[in-house]
C-alpha cells in the first residue's frame, strides 16, 4: 500500500475551499470534505490512479479531481 502525503499547500487549499463552502452550507462542506478524503484514500490502494502533476513530471506525485469546480 502506498503512503499518502499532503503538501502544506494542498492542506491549506482544502481548508480554504471547505471554509468557503461552509459559510453557506456546513452540511455540504462536510460532504465535500468526505469526498476529498475518499478520493485521496483511494490513492493509497491504487497509487497510479491519479494523473501525474505536470508541474513536477514525477510518477510518484499524483492528482485527482473531486468535483468539476
Question: Are the C-beta atoms of 50 and 8 separated by less than 8 Å?
Answer: no
Query: Band of the pLDDT at 18, cuts 50, 70, 90?
Result: very high
For residues 1 and 44, is the Cβ–Cβ distance under 8 A? yes
Percent of the chain whose predicted confidence (pLDDT) is above 90 = 68
pLDDT for the residue 43: 87
Q: What is the mean pLDDT of residues 53-61?
A: 91
Reported as a pLDDT band with limits 50, 70 and 90, residue 52 is very high
Whole-number pLDDT of residue 12: 97
Maximum average pLDDT range among 9-13, 43-47, 64-68:
9-13
User: Length of the chain in residues, anyone?
Assistant: 69
Amino acid at each position: 500500500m502506498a503512503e499518502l502525503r499532503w503538501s502544506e499547500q494542498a492542506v491549506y487549499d482544502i481548508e480554504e475551499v471547505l471554509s468557503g463552502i461552509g459559510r453557506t452550507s456546513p452540511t455540504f462542506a462536510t460532504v465535500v470534505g468526505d469526498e476529498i478524503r475518499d478520493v485521496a484514500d483511494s490513492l493509497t490502494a491504487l497509487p497510479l490512479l491519479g494523473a501525474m502533476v505536470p508541474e513536477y513530471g514525477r510518477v510518484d506525485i499524483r492528482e485527482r479531481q473531486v468535483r468539476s469546480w
